[in-house]
Amino acid sequence: MRIHAASLHYFDRVCRCGSIREASRQLNISASSVGRALSKLEEEAGVALFERLPAGLRLTAAGERLARHVATVLQDAERTQNDLAGLRQTVTGTLAVVCSDSLNTDLLPTVLERLHQRHPAVRVSARSGGLAATLQAIMQGRVDLGLLFVPPRFKRMQPIRSWRFPLGAILPAGHPLATRHAVSFADCVPYPMILGNDDLTTTKLLHSLIEPWRSKLVVHAEVGSILLMATLIARGLGIGFSSQFGFEAALADGRLVFVPLDSSGPVQTRLAAYARAEQSSPAVLQAFAAVLEEELARRVA
């Protein structure tokens, strides 16, 4: 399949060969066909592209500029053809994935939907787990891939890729802080809170911000579920702190508002995709990782 007009391929080959005769031989078409294609290009360009010399053809200044453009276009076309060929390949198999519960509300469903569209023969087995259970499942080989927030480093695990996302205050619509571009934890102290317990990874990340103010806080609940936190915040029981993962629907429809935390700079969490270090990268794992990469790159942007 040729994505671009044959005349561009003919022109490129003549540039490489320096003669119509040799180009036609390599292309396995008649010299007259190549000559007509070049004449049509020159007619459309409105300038001469070659100097006709006894020893062959030489590019004019206009021809050299067009040659650079055509070379770039054809290289892009070749890469696109390779990408299309890759999409036509049938990827089959089963992939076992474990991840934080907060990724199950929007990120994982989106990735699985797009994976199915591209590779309908792939079957995914997905489960949720806390940090300890997720690490154990990966290292014991019970899953192929784990998505972890702030993951530690282990010799038997290799990060495939990681991404950074801001942490912020999750506020009910209409809250006094909801119109801010950023807030400090001190700005939030006067308001009732819904905090995460040790089951949530953000709790450890925010420990250094929360503890100096602990005696002054009004905490209505400490929860280990992002879904429960989102529900309580939306009902006006307090404000919470997290990344946007798990709150996507409520943020999109305006029930909740996310305002980034700033503590002498943005407060961030890191999400990483981990696999066992000794594990190979089968096609099904690569296919999932490619879709995940695209979706998280879109969200980072």
The CATH code of the domain that includes 61 is 1.10.10.10
Token digits for 40?
């049509």
The boundaries of the domain holding residue 72 are 6-88
- Per-residue model confidence as pLDDT tens digits over 161-200: 888 899 999 999 999 999 999 999 999 999 999 999 888 8
Q: Over 90: is that where the pLDDT of 261 sits?
A: yes
Of the candidates 148, 50, 169, the residue with the CA atom closest to the CA atom of residue 101:
148
Q: What pLDDT is recorded for position 279?
A: 56
pLDDT band at 76 (very low <50, low <70, confident <90, very high): confident
The answer to whether the pTM exceeds 0.75 is: no
Last residue of a domain, one of 56, 88, 120: 88
| Residues 156 and 181 placed together within one structural domain of the fold | no
Of the candidates 50, 24, 2, 63, the residue with the CA atom closest to the CA atom of residue 10:
24
Of the candidates 246, 252, 240, the residue with the CA atom closest to the CA atom of residue 177:
240
Token digits for 174?
């209409």
> Domain for residue 177, yes or no?
yes
| Residues 18 and 158 placed together within one structural domain of the fold | no
Return d(Cα 163, Cα 294) in angstroms, integer. 12
Q: What pLDDT is recorded for position 114?
A: 94
> Domain for residue 1, yes or no?
no
| Residues 135 and 206 placed together within one structural domain of the fold | no
Average pLDDT over residues 101-127: 91
- Per-residue model confidence as pLDDT tens digits over 92-108: 888 889 888 889 899 99
CATH number at residue 144: 3.40.190.10
247-282 in b/e form (b: 16+ CB < 10 A) is bbebbeeebbbbbbbbeeeebebebbbbbbeeeeee
Return d(Cα 274, Cα 155) in angstroms, integer. 12
E strand residue ranges, 43-175: 50-53, 56-59, 93-99, 122-128, 145-149, 157-166, 168-172
Q: What pLDDT is recorded for position 99?
A: 87
| Residues 250 and 179 placed together within one structural domain of the fold | yes
The size of the chain, in residues, is: 301
Mean residue pLDDT of the chain comes to 85
